A and B are shown apart, each in its own frame.
Chain A
Amino acid sequence: MKRRDFLKAATVGVGSIGYTGSSQALMREPLKMPPQAVGMLYDSTLCIGCKACMVACKQANEMPPEFAGTEQRLYDTPLDTSGSTLNVIKLYKDGTREIKDRAQDGYAFMKTHCLHCVDPSCVSACPVSAMTKDPLTGIVNHHADRCIGCRYCVAGCPFSIPKYEYHDAFGQIQKCQFCSHLQAQGKIPACCDVCPTGASLFGRMEDIQQEAKRRLQAKPGDTYSFARGMLGGDQPPHEAKIPVYQQSVYGEKELGGAQVIYLSAVPYDKLGLPTNVPDYAYAAITEGIQHTLYQWFALPFVLFTGLLAAVHKSTKEEREKDVSSTAYEEDAS
């Protein structure tokens, strides 16, 4: 291969990363919802802000209390999910805060924790497989024994969910793992189990999605039977009126979809969810680029062969004469 040709090929190779503009020429196939996916529906309009789920979460996962929000060390007052907190009820408030679930002069609750993305960035980011997505249930788990603590998952998560224990010299990443230890015993996630209104509702992903659709289709003001704990579980439902929902389910398409989906009466961006996002995961782009460049390691191999040839040729003189060493030998002696 001539050097010129090689350079040309290399340029084309690098250039094939290509400008793609709005198209996703390099995107890899988006991941699909796993076959036995389990999920959660968080209905902000049902949430009463009792924080029972925060308490249950701490107990179920043996997390320490956090005294970030107050001076007094009396109550667990996390400001956000953190190395000590996997689940937080946050408050949207505006103006006089008179009416619940109203964007203007109202307030609304928001439950912040891992969304267990269908195509998770953290799993794609992790260099050592410490973040895994269960092929059957789709739960995104973290394995601290593998983690090297690079925190690329923290930076990479579009919802800023994985958190590192900065206060600890030997800290680890913490994130909601959907109480997989409880699910292994046939139980449901602690937050859904205690939720008094069914605002956090656990269930099979298919059922959960249908339930969300049903609520959107029901007429506002109509009495509706809201399930509690688990969809189709043994907790008795309760009846309430259908509120005026935002007419979309958050997490259905956003960033490739999630296994925790949201319903709310106030716009989702008010609840801190990113709304101006594509319906594919960013990981699909980065992995697409990586797969294009490194498929079968072909491109690097071609590049390397060319480089080898070029370098071999240009160092010929050096190899044969070995000038620099002799020069120094003379000097040293």
Chain B
Amino acid sequence: MSEWISSLSNIHEAATPPIGINRREFIKFCTGVAATMGLAPAMSLRIAEAATKPQRPPVIWISAQECTGCTESLLRSTHPTLEQLILEHISLDYHEALAAGAGDHAEAHKHSSMHENKGRYVLVVDGAIPTKDDGIYCKVADKTILQHVREAVTDAGAIIAIGSCAAWGGIPSSGPNPTDAKGLGEIVTDKQIVNIPGCPPNPYNFLATVLYFLTFNKLPELDDKGRPKFAYGQLIHENCERRPHYDAGRFAIEFGDEGHRQGWCLYKMGCKGPETHANCPSILYGEVGSGAWPVGTGHPCFGCTEQGVGFTKPIHELSDVSLVTPPNSFTDIFQTKGQGVSVGAAALASGAVGAALGASAVIASRLGKHEEGTSEPQQTD
């Protein structure tokens, strides 16, 4: 620990080689990151290149009304020496929880970094921002977080709101919200913000976004809520390992019942998977093996990444199964059924009717001749 903390105080020094990681493991990590973003494996080399550039991109991390869960989860990623990668390959110029320096020293350093890296630095915000009474409910260095954020936003190259609180307000903003806490997006409306919601968010979604920015110098594709599509493009329900149970109608009713023990679908217990966008079932959490995510451990998803679901809807409340387009495998109210006319059948039917009418016509015409006085009727059988 002391090693990387000490390195923080040397942030102006030239880049040092990654500590405790060989090149092979490093490329492996970069390939993993590329895969998270759905990039081609060859991209991992470009990511590695970007991550080891001598000029490390500066990062300013501002914490507002938060629990430090986002930082903690980032630190606890179990990839080899992940924290070191972060510290060695980005220049974390300001982070309240991680900085070795404090007080005026840290503040001064933040300002000089922002000044020097004008328009280049990455601003990361975690926690909701209180706005009531000019934001006096959260202050650092005698200034409200509101002021800090507005200041930092001005010259930032990219802005990332990490965690549900920063993304849309999270816990602090859900009722009664005494400080009128808001997400970063509501404070900063004139700049594109990348939201990485989650409580805490999956660190790889954050890392992948940062490395994408470093590699391509632009932001990954975002959805209408500012979330990277590679991570938040699909509903949890779509990739859930318990989905077959849902499809088969096998639902756990309460914790510990037979269905729960059998690993059945948790929908009836209030699982919000069907209305929550996240890649949890695909990349899991904490890298401790299969099943390491809420639904995998038997708890219904509570929708932390989705505004209006997590911290808002009661955990037991059923989710709205929102299908953007209903699946095609449903039968229509009026579904065409039954065999229509076939050419052969139509020909046969009209032939039969025609033959009957024809025979009648022949008879009729012969009868006509009879009437005219032909004496001998013809033998037709």
Q: Quick check: B321 and A75 within 8 Å, CB to CB?
A: no
B314-329: CB near A (< 8 Å → 1, else 0) gives 1011101111011101
State which size class the interface on B falls in. Answer: 20 to 34
Binds A, one of B96-104, B248-256, B287-295, B364-372: B248-256
CB-contacts of A58-81 with B (<8 A): 69-70, 75, 77-80
Q: Is A90 an interface residue (CB 8 A)?
A: yes
Q: Are A240 and B335 touching (Cβ within 8 A)?
A: no
B320 partner residues in chain A, CB cutoff 8 A:
100
User: In the complex the two chains form, is A110's CB within 8 Å of B333's CB?
Assistant: yes
A196 touches B330 (CB 8 A): no
Whether B317 and A79, one on each chain, are in contact in the complex, defined by CB atoms closer than 8 angstroms, is no
Please count how many residues in chain A sit with their CB below 8 Å of the partner chain's CB atoms.
39
What's the Cα separation between A194 and B259 when bound, in Å? 12
Q: What is the distance, in angstroms, from A90's C-beta to the closest C-beta of chain B? A: 5
Query: What string of 1s and 0s marks CB contacts (under 8 Å) between A72-108 and chain B?
Result: 0001011110000000111111000100100000010
Q: What is the CB-to-nearest-CB distance from A210 to chain B, in angstroms, rounded to a whole number?
A: 23
A80→B316 contact, CB < 8 A: no
CB–CB A194/B331 < 8 A: no
Which stretch from A23-31, A49-57, A144-152, A253-261 is at the chain B interface?
A49-57
Check A53–B316 contact: CB distance below 8 A: no
Mark interface residues in A217-253 (1 if CB within 8 Å of B CB, else 0). 0000000000010000001101110000000000000
Residues of B contacting A55 in the complex (Cβ-Cβ under 8 angstroms): 247-249
Q: Cβ of B148 < 8 Å from any Cβ of A?
A: no
B316 and A238 form a contact (CB under 8 A): yes
Query: Contact: A270 with B333, CB < 8 Å?
Result: yes
Known: A53-B249, A196-B268, A240-B318. A93 touches B331 (CB 8 A): no
Say yes or no: A52 contacts B330, CB within 8 Å: no
Q: How far is the CA of A107 from the CA of B246 in the complex (A)?
A: 21
Residue of A48, A70, A75, A272 touching B333 (CB-CB under 8 A): A272
Cα distance A222–B334 in the bound complex, in angstroms: 33
Q: Which of A49, A91, A236 has the most CB of B within 10 A?
A: A91
Interface digits, B28-44 against A, CB 8 Å rule (1 contact, 0 not)?
Answer: 00000000000000000
With a CB–CB cut-off of 8 A, which chain B residues contact A52?
Answer: 246, 248-251
**Set of chain B residues within 8 Å of A270, measured between Cβ atoms:** 333
Q: Does B381 contact A (CB under 8 A)?
A: no
Task: Given A97-B326, A107-B326, verify A50-B334 contact (CB < 8 Å).
Answer: no
> Could you say which residues of chain B place their CB within 8 Å of the CB of A49?
321, 323, 326-327, 330
A197 within 8 A of B: yes
Q: Does B206 contact A (CB under 8 A)?
A: no
Query: B230 within 8 Å of A by Cβ?
Result: no
Nearest CB of chain A from residue B337's CB, rounded to whole Å: 6
Nearest chain-B residue to A46 (Cβ)?
B318
Q: Does A271 contact B (CB under 8 A)?
A: yes
Q: Does B332 contact A (CB under 8 A)?
A: yes
A48 contact from B317, B321, B325, Cβ within 8 A? B321
Question: Do A69 and B331 touch (CB < 8 A)?
Answer: yes
> When the two chains form the complex, which single residue of A50, A91, A194, A236 contacts B321, counting CB atoms closer than 8 Å?
A50
CB distance from B257 to the nearest CB of A (A): 11
Listed A/B pairs (12) with beta-carbon separation below 8 Å: A50-B321, A52-B248, A52-B250, A54-B249, A69-B329, A77-B329, A80-B331, A89-B331, A91-B330, A97-B325, A194-B249, A238-B317
Interface residues of B (CB under 8 A from A): 246-251, 253-254, 267-268, 270, 274, 314, 316-318, 320-323, 325-327, 329-335, 337
| Chain A residues packing against B (C-beta within 8 Å) | 48-56, 69-70, 75, 77-80, 88-93, 97, 100, 107, 109-110, 194, 196-197, 228, 235-236, 238-240, 270-272
